[in-house]
Structure 1
Amino acid sequence: MVDALPILCNKSPFYHTLGRPDPLTPQEEEDLEKARQRLIKLSQKYFDIDLPLHVDAEYTSVQPAIDYFTYSAMTKFNKNGKAIVYGRVQAYLRDAKERITQATEVAEKMGVTIGYKLVRGAYLSTESQVASSLGYASPIHGSIKETHACYDDCTSFMLKIVYKGSAAVCLVTHNLDSGRWAAAKAQALGIGKGNDKLQFAQLKGMAEGLSFGLRNAGFQVSKYLPYGPVDMVIPYLLRRAEECYLPQLWIDYS
């Protein structure tokens, strides 16, 4: 074990472990440590070139392990008000706000500048199906309205910590209302528009009006470009397009 931040909270889904799991074998422990060391090595490279490293989010069945790796890297490289390593929070999860709250509180006590990339979520159908197959409630909010509210609540919380100087956040959204609201909240708090601890991001080719509007207002904005096999990228882009242009629907983000 190494220094890390709290991973699960009272609202987190525990249904993936129906009983006490068997301990890891020596080989599994070795493999786990090798994976952590690879992330540490990569984080060191990003630290040396002074660029942020964003670690992606996955299914709740594996997310605790990803968070463990990510937080252990944060405790090593996110110091002195600088955030190099960012975790990702999916706001469609019911436990999103509680998890970032408790992790941030511990990070502040440890002198760690926590970094988060805040998104709405990516595996709605899969998560609900797994939970249902095990006889548990879905870890996902029951409606898109609740997800929007959670996203904005997490945004508000993180902006307050950014203003204090002890956290950094990248707000990834194609939702015009969320983007406009976050920009107004940042301005109300007095967060400087050139503050690199606050960034916005959208997919290249989507929500361009929001991206240009935020950039023209002086905020830091990134456009990200997915790449990979065409048969995988096109369906991904179509789902993002639905999210971007039909935000009123509670659609499958997977």
Structure 2
Amino acid sequence: MFRSRLPLPRSRLIRFINTSQSNKSTTTTTPSTINTVNKSSQNDYTILPNKQTLNPQKTYLDSLSNKMLFSYGAIGLCTLNKPILNLVIKLFPIIPTPILDFFIGKLYVGGSTPSEVIKTGEELSKRGINNMMLSLTIEDSEGTKNIDINYIVEETMNSIETILKPQILRVLTQEPNINEIPPGYIVIKPSALISNPAQVLLNFEKPEWSEQFQQLNKNCEIITEEVVRLNNELSKLYPERKSPFFVTVIDAEKFDLQQGVYKLQRNLFQKFNKPSGFVNVVGTIQMYLKQSFPQIKLEESLAQAGNYRVGLKLVRGAYIHSESDRSVIHDTKLDTDQCYDQGIKYVLSDLEKNQSSATLGHLVVASHNSKSSHIACDLLSQSKSDIVKSNVVLGQLLGMCDDVTFNLIQNHKVKNIIKYVPWGPPVETKDYLLRRLQENGDAVREDNGWKLVKQVARVFKNRLF
């Protein structure tokens, strides 16, 4: 962009200023419209346009600290191409945790303590992201760890009170429209809440595993009862709210375990998603599976017969690279994309038509795909209902696809947007980072790589010069 220069003699400049002052009763001048006057010589001045007109369009990188920019640059270098990414994945287990935390940990993990996660929530709010989907990253899907299930249940339940509740109460004091504040979500990973989870979920219908499956249900119920209690508490203070303040989210597992997860979700739907109230529980549907859209219809049909409501989180699918049976996966990416978008439209259609009595009463569009996000935004923009708009939330993983998040907030004025925020002990969050690199390798490379390195370099250059 060229900088225009308008040299004026001192006498003409003084006359211009005096004339402006004499007309100040009819002309209002604000700091944002005042031109900057610089002395270029003894006899003339140069009037420069306001700096705001010279700055290029801001991106999400421009708002980050130097330390965060450094971390983004590091992940960009790690994802330059497939061989480099594969090498990083191979070396990942032997890299000391403090080094990982220094270079990239803060990008993808909310912290190891509640106070650190609260600070992460505050930083997200500065970017227009007013809530989180909180996930304690302790699990044992293979049944090889000696983890304390009771500790996980208690810590997960406490995090609703110590992290998500302060987060939403803070935002409630800042946002004028209560229905533009997304709920706080608490993730329940079935493989974290029962010993030998793979066998429990795989054999949930067999009598010899019935007791363990019931214990898994009970652990999930304990956490969700806290969600319901807090929703009732805040609803009395804010009766105009059209969506829940907090929601339990049942995370997905690999395909061979998923029937057990579906059964777990239904049990929780039936107990906590009453026809006349909020959707307190959301289940996950992995749209890369050929059966995913029929699964949505099946859940809707079962809910109508059982007189309860369904909440859904639609994901393309974190396990697409590790599924052993490839026949269950859509044949092409296009098929997956079309299935995902079809799911969005189907749920939104029920919400728009039936409002607070909709069987499919709450939707999380968990996607890094800008087209799918825009489809949801376009459909929501056509609705005039607070019930619909407040019960559809868009979300992405912390530290991933921030350009998509930024675009939704800045250009589409999206308010109901969240980030999936993992947190917990450093050893466990390291495992989470490795899984994300393995499971979302394609998304990581697309979102970062050389493109990100150049963007980070540009921001640093602008700051230095």
Question: TM over 0.5: same fold?
Answer: yes
SS of aligned partner of 1:52:
strand
**Which amino acid letter does the alignment assign opposite residue 196 of structure 1?**
S
2:206 is the alignment partner of 1:24:
yes
2:436 is the alignment partner of 1:236:
yes
**For residues 280 and 269 of structure 2, what CA distance do their matches in structure 1 show?**
7
Change (3 A) 1:194 1:104: closer
**For residues 209 and 23 of structure 1, what CA distance do their matches in structure 2 show?**
44
How far apart are 1:193 and its partner, in Å? 8.7
**For residues 209 and 192 of structure 1, what CA distance do their matches in structure 2 show?**
27
What is residue 373 of structure 2 aligned with on the other side? 179
Equivalent of 2:335 in 113, 126, 146:
146
Shift >6 Å, 4+ stretches = none
What is residue 223 of structure 1 aligned with on the other side? 419
What is residue 60 of structure 1 aligned with on the other side? 255
2:227 is the alignment partner of 1:46:
yes
Query: What value does the CA root-mean-square deviation take over the aligned residues?
Result: 2.6
What is residue 205 of structure 1 aligned with on the other side? 399
What is residue 251 of structure 1 aligned with on the other side? none
**For residues 380 and 336 of structure 2, what CA distance do their matches in structure 1 show?**
21
Equivalent of 1:72 in 267, 276, 282:
267
How far apart are 1:105 and its partner, in Å? 2.8
What is residue 37 of structure 1 aligned with on the other side? 218
How far apart are 1:231 and its partner, in Å? 4.7
SS of aligned partner of 1:246:
helix
Between 1 and 2, higher relative CO (CA 8 Å, sep ≥ 6) is seen in 2
How far apart are 1:237 and its partner, in Å? 4.3
Instruction: List gaps (5 residues or longer) in structure 1.
Output: 1-20, 132-136, 248-254
SS of aligned partner of 2:255:
coil
**Which amino acid letter does the alignment assign opposite residue 293 of structure 2?**
K
Tell me, yes or no, if the aligned pair for 1:201 and 1:221 is still in contact at 8 Å: yes
Q: Which range is displaced more, 216-225 or 142-151?
A: 216-225
Q: How many residues align?
A: 219
Tell me, yes or no, if the aligned pair for 2:319 and 2:439 is still in contact at 8 Å: no
Name the structure where helix makes up a greater proportion of residues: 2
**Which amino acid letter does the alignment assign opposite residue 35 of structure 1?**
L
How far apart are 1:194 and its partner, in Å? 7.8
**Which amino acid letter does the alignment assign opposite residue 418 of structure 2?**
S
**Which amino acid letter does the alignment assign opposite residue 24 of structure 1?**
K
How far apart are 1:81 and its partner, in Å? 4.0
**Which amino acid letter does the alignment assign opposite residue 250 of structure 2?**
V
SS of aligned partner of 2:308:
coil
What is residue 246 of structure 1 aligned with on the other side? 446
SS of aligned partner of 2:312:
strand
**Which amino acid letter does the alignment assign opposite residue 118 of structure 1?**
L
**Which amino acid letter does the alignment assign opposite residue 156 of structure 1?**
K
Change (3 A) 1:98 1:23: closer
**Which amino acid letter does the alignment assign opposite residue 33 of structure 1?**
Q
For residues 97-152 of structure 1, give each alpha carbon's deviation from its aligned partner in whole angstroms, at most 9, with x where no partner exists.
Answer: 1110121133234332210000001222332x3x3xxxxx6100011111111100
Tell me, yes or no, if the aligned pair for 2:204 and 2:213 is still in contact at 8 Å: no
**For residues 185 and 220 of structure 1, what CA distance do their matches in structure 2 show?**
14
**Which amino acid letter does the alignment assign opposite residue 228 of structure 2?**
F
SS of aligned partner of 1:62:
helix
Change (3 A) 1:87 1:125: same
SS of aligned partner of 2:328:
coil
Instruction: List gaps (5 residues or longer) in structure 2.
Output: 1-202, 232-245, 448-465
How far apart are 1:208 and its partner, in Å? 2.1
Change (3 A) 1:188 1:22: closer
Give me the TM-score of the superposition, normalised by structure 2: 0.44
- The alignment-based identity, stated in percent, is 22
